Amino acid sequence: MTTGRLSKALQLTLAVIKPDAIAHPLMSEALHQTILDNNFAIVRCKDLVWRKQDSERFYAEHSDRFFYQRLVEFMSSGPMRAYILAREDAIRHWRDLMGPTKVFQARYTSPASIRARFGLTDTRNTTHGSDSIESALREIHFFFPDFNVEQWIEKEEPFFR
């Protein structure tokens, strides 16, 4: 898998609005607006519900953690929304906007972040974001198997200069 085409100049990331946020009627709209206000281009967006086995597969790297069952159940408990987002340094910008995984830590260190403002617990923390180029490519493919990253960058890059 090549990662060269996800340079910082124009980068894609995979963002998820988790079931706790989608369950609230105003949250998905507010977060959609937050994405646009922070200069992300929305490349793809879809609503979906995971089966338990999708959740298990996506979070396989955490299978020996104490929170794994809780996480897997939660992520397959209802609708969520997945985005492919584009901008310069997209992976870092989206993770900065989300704030730390742990909601109490987020409230202390990054009170304006999404998780600090809306997170309920360390599992029900409103959002997910890829944490590296490798995971962005894997996760984009997981959610949008027909999406071709290389082709998209090739075609769209001139419009982002």
Nearer to ligand RTP, 86 or 114 (CB): 114
Q: Which residue is nearest to ligand RTP (CB)?
A: 101
Nearer to ligand RTP, 10 or 136 (CB): 136
Q: Hey, which residues are catalytic here?
A: 128
Q: Which residue is nearest to Mg ion (CB)?
A: 131
Nearer to ligand RTP, 43 or 71 (CB): 71
Q: Is 115 known as a binding-site position?
A: yes
The residue written with tokens 């299978």 in the block is: 63
The angle formed by the CA atoms of residues 8, 147 and 101, to the nearest 5 degrees, is 55
Q: Which of Mg ion, ligand RTP, none does residue 113 bind (CB under 5 to 8 Å by kind)?
A: none
Q: Is 95 known as a binding-site position?
A: yes
Q: Is 125 known as a binding-site position?
A: yes
Q: Is 102 known as a binding-site position?
A: no
Torsion of CA 19, 54, 97, 138, to 10 degrees: -160
Nearer to ligand RTP, 87 or 128 (CB): 128
8-state DSSP, 121? S
- Six-digit token pair at 155? 């075609």
- Six-digit token pair at 151? 């082709």
Distance CA(26)–CA(48), nearest Å, equals 18
Distance CA(24)–CA(132), nearest Å, equals 29
3-class secondary structure, 127: strand
Closest Cα to residue 82, out of 160, 8, 12?
Answer: 12
Q: Which of Mg ion, ligand RTP, none does residue 62 bind (CB under 5 to 8 Å by kind)?
A: ligand RTP
User: Under the rule (CB under 6 A), what is the footprint of ligand RTP?
Assistant: 62, 67, 70-71, 101, 122-123, 125, 128-129, 131
CB of 130 to ligand RTP, least distance (A): 7
Give strand pairing partners of 22: none
- Which residues are part of a known binding site for ATP? 18, 67, 95, 101, 115, 125
Q: Residue numbers of the site for Mg ion (CB under 5 A)?
A: 131
